[in-house]
Amino acid sequence: MTLENKKVVLGITGGIAAYKCPEIVRRLKDLNCDVRVVMTSGAKEFITPLTLQAVSGNPVSDSLLDPAAEASMGHIELAKWADLVVIAPATADVIAKINAGMANDLLTTICLATDAPIAIVPAMNQQMYAAKTTQRNLTSLRNIGMHIWGPASGEQACGDIGKGRLLEPMQIVELIQAHFTPKSLDLNILITAGPTREAIDPVRYISNHSSGKMGFAIAQAAQQIGANVTLISGPVSLATPHNTKRLDVVSASDMHEQAMAQAPSHDIFIACAAVADYRPSNVSDQKIKKNDDDMTVTMIKNPDILADVSALTANRPFCVGFAAETQDVETYARGKLTRKKLDMIAANNVSIAGQGFNSDDNALTLYWKQGKLDLPLADKQELAKQLVVEIIKHYNHAQ
Protein backbone atom coordinates (compact mmCIF):
# COMPACT_ATOMS: atom_id res chain seq x y z
CA MET A 1 0.00 0.00 0.00
CA THR A 2 1.40 3.46 -0.84
CA LEU A 3 1.02 6.35 1.55
CA GLU A 4 0.08 8.84 -1.17
CA ASN A 5 -1.76 11.87 0.25
CA LYS A 6 -0.99 10.78 3.81
CA LYS A 7 0.52 13.46 6.00
CA VAL A 8 2.71 12.31 8.84
CA VAL A 9 4.43 14.45 11.47
CA LEU A 10 7.49 12.57 12.72
CA GLY A 11 8.49 13.84 16.17
CA ILE A 12 12.06 13.01 17.13
CA THR A 13 13.22 13.27 20.73
CA GLY A 14 16.66 13.03 22.32
CA GLY A 15 17.72 9.41 22.30
CA ILE A 16 20.57 7.61 20.61
CA ALA A 17 18.06 5.77 18.40
CA ALA A 18 17.40 9.12 16.67
CA TYR A 19 20.12 8.12 14.23
CA LYS A 20 17.61 5.68 12.69
CA CYS A 21 15.15 8.47 11.81
CA PRO A 22 16.50 9.40 8.37
CA GLU A 23 15.89 5.79 7.37
CA ILE A 24 12.28 5.99 8.60
CA VAL A 25 11.76 9.19 6.62
CA ARG A 26 13.36 7.75 3.48
CA ARG A 27 11.15 4.64 3.58
CA LEU A 28 8.05 6.80 4.09
CA LYS A 29 9.08 8.99 1.16
CA ASP A 30 9.54 5.85 -0.97
CA LEU A 31 5.83 5.24 -0.33
CA ASN A 32 4.99 8.83 -1.38
CA CYS A 33 4.13 9.85 2.17
CA ASP A 34 4.30 13.57 2.96
CA VAL A 35 6.52 13.81 6.06
CA ARG A 36 7.26 16.81 8.25
CA VAL A 37 9.85 16.39 10.96
CA VAL A 38 9.65 18.05 14.36
CA MET A 39 12.72 17.78 16.60
CA THR A 40 13.19 18.53 20.27
CA SER A 41 16.37 20.27 21.40
CA GLY A 42 17.57 16.91 22.79
CA ALA A 43 17.11 15.26 19.38
CA LYS A 44 19.43 17.82 17.80
CA GLU A 45 22.24 16.58 20.09
CA PHE A 46 22.06 13.24 18.26
CA ILE A 47 21.25 14.16 14.67
CA THR A 48 21.17 17.36 12.65
CA PRO A 49 18.01 19.03 11.32
CA LEU A 50 19.82 19.43 8.00
CA THR A 51 19.97 15.65 7.49
CA LEU A 52 16.24 15.34 8.12
CA GLN A 53 15.42 18.32 5.96
CA ALA A 54 17.36 16.71 3.12
CA VAL A 55 15.62 13.33 3.38
CA SER A 56 12.12 14.66 4.04
CA GLY A 57 12.29 17.40 1.41
CA ASN A 58 10.57 19.74 3.89
CA PRO A 59 11.87 22.25 6.42
CA VAL A 60 12.38 20.77 9.88
CA SER A 61 10.52 22.44 12.75
CA ASP A 62 12.29 22.59 16.06
CA SER A 63 11.17 25.71 17.84
CA LEU A 64 7.86 26.86 19.23
CA LEU A 65 8.81 30.50 19.21
CA ASP A 66 10.65 30.84 15.90
CA PRO A 67 9.00 33.61 13.82
CA ALA A 68 10.39 32.27 10.51
CA ALA A 69 9.09 28.76 11.16
CA GLU A 70 5.74 30.11 12.37
CA ALA A 71 5.46 32.16 9.18
CA SER A 72 5.96 29.10 6.92
CA MET A 73 3.81 26.60 8.86
CA GLY A 74 2.78 27.59 12.38
CA HIS A 75 2.53 25.02 15.16
CA ILE A 76 -1.28 24.93 15.11
CA GLU A 77 -1.28 24.62 11.34
CA LEU A 78 1.18 21.72 11.57
CA ALA A 79 -1.00 20.07 14.22
CA LYS A 80 -4.04 20.41 11.94
CA TRP A 81 -2.11 19.32 8.84
CA ALA A 82 -1.18 15.92 10.27
CA ASP A 83 -3.16 12.74 9.55
CA LEU A 84 -0.92 10.97 12.05
CA VAL A 85 1.73 12.06 14.57
CA VAL A 86 4.45 9.49 15.20
CA ILE A 87 7.00 10.10 17.95
CA ALA A 88 10.08 7.98 17.34
CA PRO A 89 12.17 7.63 19.33
CA ALA A 90 10.00 8.67 22.27
CA THR A 91 12.06 9.11 25.44
CA ALA A 92 10.76 8.50 28.96
CA ASP A 93 10.86 12.27 29.38
CA VAL A 94 8.58 13.11 26.43
CA ILE A 95 6.21 10.28 27.37
CA ALA A 96 5.91 11.78 30.87
CA LYS A 97 5.38 15.28 29.47
CA ILE A 98 2.68 14.20 27.02
CA ASN A 99 0.94 12.26 29.75
CA ALA A 100 1.03 15.32 32.00
CA GLY A 101 -0.46 17.44 29.19
CA MET A 102 2.54 19.76 29.11
CA ALA A 103 3.16 21.98 26.11
CA ASN A 104 6.53 23.62 26.73
CA ASP A 105 8.08 22.84 23.35
CA LEU A 106 6.90 22.44 19.76
CA LEU A 107 6.39 18.67 19.82
CA THR A 108 4.39 18.50 23.05
CA THR A 109 2.34 21.50 21.89
CA ILE A 110 1.50 19.70 18.65
CA CYS A 111 0.42 16.64 20.66
CA LEU A 112 -2.09 18.79 22.51
CA ALA A 113 -3.18 20.79 19.48
CA THR A 114 -3.77 17.93 17.05
CA ASP A 115 -6.87 15.84 16.66
CA ALA A 116 -4.92 13.32 14.58
CA PRO A 117 -4.06 9.94 16.13
CA ILE A 118 -0.72 9.86 17.96
CA ALA A 119 1.66 6.88 17.94
CA ILE A 120 4.42 6.72 20.55
CA VAL A 121 7.42 4.55 19.69
CA PRO A 122 9.40 4.31 22.94
CA ALA A 123 13.16 3.89 23.04
CA MET A 124 15.15 4.07 26.26
CA ASN A 125 17.29 2.14 28.67
CA GLN A 126 15.56 -1.07 29.76
CA GLN A 127 15.50 -0.01 33.42
CA MET A 128 13.97 3.35 32.57
CA TYR A 129 11.37 1.55 30.43
CA ALA A 130 10.57 -0.90 33.24
CA ALA A 131 10.27 1.92 35.79
CA LYS A 132 6.82 2.07 37.35
CA THR A 133 6.37 5.72 36.41
CA THR A 134 7.14 5.07 32.72
CA GLN A 135 4.80 2.06 32.70
CA ARG A 136 2.09 4.09 34.42
CA ASN A 137 2.50 6.90 31.85
CA LEU A 138 2.33 4.49 28.92
CA THR A 139 -0.76 2.78 30.32
CA SER A 140 -2.45 6.08 30.80
CA LEU A 141 -1.61 7.22 27.24
CA ARG A 142 -2.89 3.91 25.87
CA ASN A 143 -6.10 4.39 27.85
CA ILE A 144 -6.75 7.72 26.17
CA GLY A 145 -6.38 6.13 22.74
CA MET A 146 -2.74 6.76 21.83
CA HIS A 147 -0.95 3.96 20.04
CA ILE A 148 2.16 2.55 21.70
CA TRP A 149 4.38 0.75 19.19
CA GLY A 150 7.15 -1.42 20.65
CA PRO A 151 9.68 -1.28 22.15
CA ALA A 152 11.80 -4.20 20.97
CA SER A 153 14.09 -6.24 23.19
CA GLY A 154 17.81 -6.82 22.79
CA GLU A 155 21.16 -5.26 23.25
CA GLN A 156 21.07 -1.56 24.02
CA ALA A 157 23.46 1.28 23.18
CA CYS A 158 24.40 1.53 26.87
CA GLY A 159 25.39 -2.16 26.96
CA ASP A 160 22.29 -3.35 28.85
CA ILE A 161 20.14 -6.11 27.46
CA GLY A 162 16.37 -5.89 27.72
CA LYS A 163 13.21 -4.20 26.53
CA GLY A 164 13.60 -0.62 25.34
CA ARG A 165 15.05 -0.69 21.83
CA LEU A 166 13.42 1.37 19.11
CA LEU A 167 11.55 -0.76 16.58
CA GLU A 168 13.41 -1.11 13.29
CA PRO A 169 12.62 1.65 10.74
CA MET A 170 10.83 -0.79 8.43
CA GLN A 171 8.68 -2.08 11.30
CA ILE A 172 7.65 1.49 12.10
CA VAL A 173 6.83 2.17 8.45
CA GLU A 174 4.75 -1.04 8.31
CA LEU A 175 2.83 0.03 11.41
CA ILE A 176 2.14 3.39 9.77
CA GLN A 177 0.90 1.55 6.65
CA ALA A 178 -1.27 -0.71 8.77
CA HIS A 179 -2.66 2.33 10.54
CA PHE A 180 -3.82 3.76 7.22
CA THR A 181 -5.08 0.47 5.79
CA PRO A 182 -8.86 0.44 6.00
CA LYS A 183 -10.09 -2.12 8.47
CA SER A 184 -11.63 -5.04 6.71
CA LEU A 185 -15.28 -5.54 7.52
CA ASP A 186 -16.79 -8.83 6.48
CA LEU A 187 -19.75 -7.13 4.87
CA ASN A 188 -20.86 -6.88 1.23
CA ILE A 189 -22.85 -3.77 0.43
CA LEU A 190 -24.71 -3.17 -2.83
CA ILE A 191 -25.68 0.39 -3.74
CA THR A 192 -27.64 1.85 -6.66
CA ALA A 193 -26.93 5.47 -7.57
CA GLY A 194 -27.70 8.18 -10.08
CA PRO A 195 -30.54 8.56 -12.56
CA THR A 196 -31.67 6.13 -15.23
CA ARG A 197 -32.26 7.07 -18.87
CA GLU A 198 -35.26 5.76 -20.73
CA ALA A 199 -34.82 5.91 -24.48
CA ILE A 200 -37.50 7.41 -26.71
CA ASP A 201 -35.51 6.96 -29.91
CA PRO A 202 -31.77 6.57 -30.69
CA VAL A 203 -31.03 10.20 -29.72
CA ARG A 204 -33.57 11.13 -27.05
CA TYR A 205 -34.37 9.95 -23.57
CA ILE A 206 -36.38 10.71 -20.43
CA SER A 207 -34.40 11.14 -17.22
CA ASN A 208 -34.18 13.22 -14.03
CA HIS A 209 -31.86 15.59 -12.15
CA SER A 210 -30.15 13.03 -9.90
CA SER A 211 -26.38 13.69 -9.78
CA GLY A 212 -25.48 10.40 -8.09
CA LYS A 213 -23.53 12.30 -5.41
CA MET A 214 -25.37 10.79 -2.46
CA GLY A 215 -25.02 7.20 -3.68
CA PHE A 216 -21.35 7.69 -4.49
CA ALA A 217 -20.74 9.28 -1.07
CA ILE A 218 -22.42 6.25 0.54
CA ALA A 219 -20.22 3.90 -1.49
CA GLN A 220 -17.12 5.81 -0.37
CA ALA A 221 -18.18 5.85 3.28
CA ALA A 222 -18.94 2.12 3.21
CA GLN A 223 -15.61 1.37 1.56
CA GLN A 224 -13.73 3.51 4.07
CA ILE A 225 -15.02 1.54 7.00
CA GLY A 226 -13.89 -1.66 5.33
CA ALA A 227 -16.97 -3.04 3.57
CA ASN A 228 -16.80 -4.66 0.11
CA VAL A 229 -18.81 -2.31 -2.06
CA THR A 230 -20.58 -2.87 -5.37
CA LEU A 231 -22.00 0.28 -6.93
CA ILE A 232 -24.56 0.04 -9.75
CA SER A 233 -24.56 3.45 -11.33
CA GLY A 234 -26.76 5.17 -13.86
CA PRO A 235 -25.14 7.78 -16.17
CA VAL A 236 -23.28 10.27 -13.94
CA SER A 237 -20.05 12.22 -14.23
CA LEU A 238 -18.46 11.14 -10.97
CA ALA A 239 -15.19 9.34 -10.24
CA THR A 240 -15.49 5.80 -8.89
CA PRO A 241 -14.71 5.69 -5.15
CA HIS A 242 -11.52 3.87 -4.24
CA ASN A 243 -11.75 0.05 -4.02
CA THR A 244 -15.31 -0.04 -5.28
CA LYS A 245 -16.67 -2.42 -7.89
CA ARG A 246 -18.67 -0.23 -10.27
CA LEU A 247 -21.23 -1.53 -12.73
CA ASP A 248 -22.48 1.09 -15.18
CA VAL A 249 -26.02 0.88 -16.50
CA VAL A 250 -28.28 3.19 -18.48
CA SER A 251 -31.94 2.22 -18.16
CA ALA A 252 -34.07 1.07 -15.25
CA SER A 253 -34.35 -2.36 -16.88
CA ASP A 254 -30.54 -2.67 -17.01
CA MET A 255 -30.29 -1.56 -13.38
CA HIS A 256 -32.98 -4.04 -12.39
CA GLU A 257 -31.16 -6.88 -14.12
CA GLN A 258 -27.83 -6.06 -12.46
CA ALA A 259 -29.37 -5.52 -9.01
CA MET A 260 -31.25 -8.85 -9.13
CA ALA A 261 -28.04 -10.63 -10.17
CA GLN A 262 -25.92 -8.98 -7.46
CA ALA A 263 -28.32 -8.76 -4.50
CA PRO A 264 -28.18 -12.40 -3.30
CA SER A 265 -24.41 -12.17 -2.75
CA HIS A 266 -24.70 -8.99 -0.67
CA ASP A 267 -25.60 -8.43 2.98
CA ILE A 268 -27.04 -4.95 2.60
CA PHE A 269 -28.80 -3.28 -0.34
CA ILE A 270 -29.05 0.51 -0.37
CA ALA A 271 -31.26 1.78 -3.20
CA CYS A 272 -30.20 5.35 -3.71
CA ALA A 273 -30.83 5.61 -7.45
CA ALA A 274 -33.51 7.89 -8.81
CA VAL A 275 -35.02 5.24 -11.04
CA ALA A 276 -37.40 6.44 -13.75
CA ASP A 277 -40.82 5.13 -12.82
CA TYR A 278 -41.93 4.77 -16.44
CA ARG A 279 -40.32 4.15 -19.81
CA PRO A 280 -41.65 4.67 -23.34
CA SER A 281 -43.51 1.54 -24.32
CA ASN A 282 -42.02 1.62 -27.81
CA VAL A 283 -38.51 2.78 -28.56
CA SER A 284 -38.35 4.00 -32.13
CA ASP A 285 -35.53 2.47 -34.19
CA GLN A 286 -35.07 5.74 -36.07
CA LYS A 287 -34.96 9.36 -34.92
CA ILE A 288 -38.56 10.58 -34.61
CA LYS A 289 -39.28 13.45 -37.03
CA LYS A 290 -41.07 16.60 -35.85
CA ASN A 291 -43.84 16.42 -38.44
CA ASP A 292 -46.78 16.98 -36.10
CA ASP A 293 -47.59 19.87 -33.75
CA ASP A 294 -48.00 17.56 -30.84
CA MET A 295 -46.70 14.17 -29.93
CA THR A 296 -47.72 11.47 -27.50
CA VAL A 297 -45.33 9.09 -25.85
CA THR A 298 -47.04 6.15 -24.22
CA MET A 299 -45.21 4.96 -21.14
CA ILE A 300 -45.24 1.74 -19.19
CA LYS A 301 -44.17 1.19 -15.63
CA ASN A 302 -40.60 0.17 -14.88
CA PRO A 303 -39.91 -2.67 -12.46
CA ASP A 304 -39.44 -1.52 -8.88
CA ILE A 305 -35.88 -2.63 -8.24
CA LEU A 306 -35.99 -2.12 -4.50
CA ALA A 307 -39.32 -3.87 -4.03
CA ASP A 308 -38.13 -6.82 -6.14
CA VAL A 309 -34.87 -7.20 -4.20
CA SER A 310 -36.77 -6.92 -0.94
CA ALA A 311 -39.17 -9.66 -2.10
CA LEU A 312 -36.35 -12.17 -2.63
CA THR A 313 -37.09 -15.30 -0.68
CA ALA A 314 -33.56 -16.70 -0.69
CA ASN A 315 -30.50 -14.68 0.29
CA ARG A 316 -32.44 -11.47 0.71
CA PRO A 317 -30.16 -8.61 1.80
CA PHE A 318 -31.06 -6.05 4.47
CA CYS A 319 -32.94 -3.48 2.35
CA VAL A 320 -32.67 0.28 2.70
CA GLY A 321 -34.63 2.65 0.45
CA PHE A 322 -34.68 6.38 -0.12
CA ALA A 323 -37.72 8.59 -0.27
CA ALA A 324 -37.41 12.01 -1.86
CA GLU A 325 -40.56 13.83 -0.88
CA THR A 326 -41.93 17.35 -1.18
CA GLN A 327 -44.64 17.09 1.49
CA ASP A 328 -45.86 14.83 4.35
CA VAL A 329 -42.41 13.28 4.40
CA GLU A 330 -42.99 10.86 7.28
CA THR A 331 -46.34 9.56 5.99
CA TYR A 332 -45.03 8.90 2.48
CA ALA A 333 -41.73 7.46 3.71
CA ARG A 334 -43.44 5.08 6.12
CA GLY A 335 -45.87 4.13 3.37
CA LYS A 336 -42.93 3.03 1.20
CA LEU A 337 -41.28 1.27 4.12
CA THR A 338 -44.36 -0.89 4.53
CA ARG A 339 -45.35 -1.30 0.89
CA LYS A 340 -41.87 -2.31 -0.28
CA LYS A 341 -41.28 -4.35 2.90
CA LEU A 342 -38.05 -2.49 3.71
CA ASP A 343 -35.88 -2.70 6.79
CA MET A 344 -35.19 1.02 6.74
CA ILE A 345 -35.89 4.12 4.68
CA ALA A 346 -33.97 7.39 4.46
CA ALA A 347 -36.25 10.29 3.66
CA ASN A 348 -35.46 13.82 2.58
CA ASN A 349 -37.52 16.83 1.76
CA VAL A 350 -36.43 17.81 -1.74
CA SER A 351 -38.58 20.95 -1.75
CA ILE A 352 -36.09 22.65 0.61
CA ALA A 353 -33.50 24.66 -1.35
CA GLY A 354 -29.85 23.64 -0.94
CA GLN A 355 -30.40 20.02 -0.07
CA GLY A 356 -31.12 16.82 -1.94
CA PHE A 357 -31.07 16.61 -5.74
CA ASN A 358 -27.92 17.93 -7.39
CA SER A 359 -26.79 19.65 -4.20
CA ASP A 360 -23.63 19.04 -2.13
CA ASP A 361 -25.60 18.99 1.13
CA ASN A 362 -28.43 16.90 2.38
CA ALA A 363 -30.44 16.15 5.50
CA LEU A 364 -32.16 12.82 6.14
CA THR A 365 -34.56 11.22 8.52
CA LEU A 366 -34.24 7.48 8.94
CA TYR A 367 -37.39 5.50 9.60
CA TRP A 368 -37.72 1.89 10.57
CA LYS A 369 -40.67 -0.02 11.96
CA GLN A 370 -40.19 0.95 15.58
CA GLY A 371 -38.36 4.25 15.35
CA LYS A 372 -36.81 7.16 13.58
CA LEU A 373 -33.62 9.20 13.66
CA ASP A 374 -32.82 12.66 12.26
CA LEU A 375 -29.50 13.15 10.51
CA PRO A 376 -29.29 16.95 10.24
CA LEU A 377 -28.03 18.99 7.27
CA ALA A 378 -24.42 18.16 6.43
CA ASP A 379 -22.35 17.73 3.32
CA LYS A 380 -23.15 14.47 1.56
CA GLN A 381 -19.81 12.85 2.51
CA GLU A 382 -20.35 13.46 6.22
CA LEU A 383 -24.00 12.48 6.05
CA ALA A 384 -23.10 9.29 4.19
CA LYS A 385 -20.72 8.26 6.98
CA GLN A 386 -23.42 8.70 9.62
CA LEU A 387 -25.95 6.90 7.44
CA VAL A 388 -23.68 3.90 6.85
CA VAL A 389 -22.91 3.60 10.57
CA GLU A 390 -26.64 3.62 11.39
CA ILE A 391 -27.48 1.10 8.67
CA ILE A 392 -24.78 -1.31 9.85
CA LYS A 393 -25.95 -0.92 13.45
CA HIS A 394 -29.50 -1.90 12.44
CA TYR A 395 -28.24 -4.67 10.16
CA ASN A 396 -26.21 -6.17 13.03
CA HIS A 397 -29.21 -5.87 15.33
CA ALA A 398 -31.36 -7.75 12.83
CA GLN A 399 -28.97 -10.72 12.64
What is the C-alpha R_g of the chain? Answer: 28
158 given a catalytic annotation: yes
Instruction: Look at strands 204-206 and 198-201 and give their pairing.
Output: antiparallel
Q: Active site residue: 111, 158, 272, 319, which one? A: 158
**What span, in angstroms and rounded, lies between the C-alpha atoms of 380 and 382?**
6
Stretch that binds ligand C5P, among 28-36, 156-164, 320-328, 368-376 (CB under 6 A): 320-328
- Report if residue 366 touches ligand C5P, rule: CB under 6 A: no
Alpha-carbon distance 180 to 187, whole Å? 19
> Which of 177, 182, 176, 258 minimizes the C-alpha distance to 227?
182
Stretch that binds ligand C5P, among 45-53, 108-116, 181-189, 316-324 (CB under 6 A): 316-324
Single-letter amino acid, residue 131? A
Site for ligand C5P in 186-215 (CB under 6 A): 192
219 binds ligand C5P (CB under 6 A): no
Question: Closest separation between CB of residue 378 and ligand C5P, Å?
Answer: 20
For the chain, counts of helices (H) and of strands (E)? 14, 19
Closer to ligand C5P by CB, 20 or 336: give it: 336
Distance CA 212, CA 199 (A): 19
Q: Which of 321, 382, 330, 390 is nearest to 355 (CA)?
A: 382
**Size of residue set near ligand C5P by CB under 6 A:** 15
332 close to 325: Cβ distance less than 8 angstroms: yes
Binding pattern for the stretch 153-192 against ligand C5P, x by CB under 6 A and - elsewhere: ---------------------------------------x
Q: How far is the CB of 80 from ligand C5P (least distance, A)?
A: 38
Judged by CB under 6 A, the residue of 304, 318, 365, 388 near ligand C5P is 304
In DSSP terms, 206 is beta-bridged to: 198
208 vs 243, which CB is nearer to ligand C5P?
208
Residues that bind ligand C5P (CB under 6 A): 192, 252, 271-273, 275, 277, 302, 304-306, 321-323, 336
Residue positions annotated with a catalytic role: 158
